[in-house]
Amino acid sequence: MSTERSLVLVKPDGFQRGLTGEVLRRIEAKGYTLAALAVVTPTREQLAAHYAEHEGKPFYEPLVDFMSSGPVAAVVIEGQDCIRGFRSLAGATNPTEAAPGSIRGDLGRDWGQAVQQNIVHGSDSPESAVREIGIWFPDL
């Protein structure tokens, strides 16, 4: 295990429902450090860079529309193996399938096909974390 950084986004659905504090509480309770925090309404350009690997897929436009629909809390976390650890803490992508005790399992709603409305995003690899942190926190 190594100390690493990851990007976490509290998506518009989680931010609007007032769940940012609960998500941050769970991150800190897990033992991770908050290295940067910002509340922003993402631009389409920012989201195009963030979701570049999904461009052209059927869910891309609905995802960008949703993510640009309101504020998000963008957070850089640090800690031992925090990328894998946060993804476990977040739970399965589909809140209906996420285990109880996970963020999505406890706080997510069943939105049918709209699985992008699943409260949080977390980087999926060290390479993605570096790229994503650069998009959301270019001065970090």
Does some domain include residue 13?
yes
Does some domain include residue 28?
yes
Classify 138 in phi/psi space as left (phi over 0), alpha (psi -120 to 50) or beta.
Answer: alpha
99 exposure class (CB count in 10 Å sphere: 0-12, 13-18, 19+): exposed
Confidence of residue 67 (pLDDT cuts 50, 70, 90): very high
Range of the structural domain that residue 71 is part of = 3-85+117-136
The model's pLDDT over 74-119, given as tens digits with 9 standing for 90+, comes to 999 999 999 999 999 999 988 989 999 999 999 998 766 566 789 9
**Is 93 one of the annotated binding-site residues?**
yes
pTM value surpassing 0.85: yes
Give me the CATH number covering residue 127: 3.30.70.141
Contacts of 4 (CB under 8 A, 6+ apart): 78, 79, 80, 81, 82, 83, 126, 129
SS3 72: strand
By C-alpha distance, which of 25, 29, 24, 33 is closest to 4?
A: 33
Does some domain include residue 110?
no
**Is 11 one of the annotated binding-site residues?**
yes
Q: Which entry of 50, 121, 132, 136 is annotated as an active-site residue?
A: 121
Does some domain include residue 97?
no
Is-contact 11 103, C-beta < 8 A?
A: no
What pLDDT does residue 31 have? 97
Tell me the average pLDDT across 16-24.
98
By C-alpha distance, which of 68, 76, 13, 79 is closest to 46?
A: 68
**Is 94 one of the annotated binding-site residues?**
no
Q: Could you confirm whether 121 is annotated as catalytic?
A: yes
Does some domain include residue 108?
no
Does some domain include residue 100?
no
What pLDDT does residue 123 have? 98
Tell me the average pLDDT across 37-45.
97
The pair of structure tokens assigned to 21 is 């504090």
Does some domain include residue 106?
no
What pLDDT does residue 89 have? 98
Domain count, the chain: 1
Given a cut of 60, whether residue 49 has pLDDT beyond it is yes
